[in-house]
Amino acid sequence: MLRVRLGALADLPIDDLRAFTVAGVTWPVMAGVIAGEVIATAGVCPHEDVGLDGGEVADGCLTCPGHGYVFELRTGACRHDRSLTLRRYRARVIDGDVWIELV
Ligand code: FES
């Protein structure tokens, strides 16, 4: 398991996502507190290689700025194409910091 510190919990937006640069990861990791749960996802859409920074977050879902596919943040499921899943990273809060498991 490779666990990396994403940042302070206080730096995560509430009911929104922001991009965090992680050494060794090509696309920034998207993270935020969604409905009280720390969520961290890949920063690139599984449909095509479009960055998710700038996507719209609403009702626990992220809309990709590429073609508008909607992903449920709690599961990663895509509402437009069930064969697609947005990668989620397991996240833990330790002493006020958010850590994610990359593998
Ligand atoms: S690239 Fe995200 S929906 Fe197409």
CATH code at 75?
A: 2.102.10.10
User: Cα of 65 to ligand 1 centre, how many Å?
Assistant: 7
How many domains, in total, are found in the chain? 1
pTM: 0.95
User: Cα of 56 to ligand 1 centre, how many Å?
Assistant: 13
Q: Establish whether residue 99 lines the binding site of ligand 1, counting it when its CB lies within 6 angstroms of any ligand atom.
A: no
For 14-31, the pLDDT digits (tens) are: 999 999 999 989 999 999
Residue to substitute in 27, 48, 53 for testing ligand 1 pocket (most ligand atoms within 8 angstroms of CB): 48
Please tell me the predicted confidence (pLDDT) of residue 70: 98
Which of 53, 15, 48, 38 has the alpha carbon at shortest distance from 88?
A: 38
For 48-93, the pLDDT digits (tens) are: 999 999 999 999 999 999 999 999 999 999 999 999 999 999 999 9
Which of 23, 20, 22, 21 has the alpha carbon at shortest distance from 31?
A: 20
Please tell me the predicted confidence (pLDDT) of residue 48: 97
- Residue range(s) defining the domain that contains residue 23: 3-101
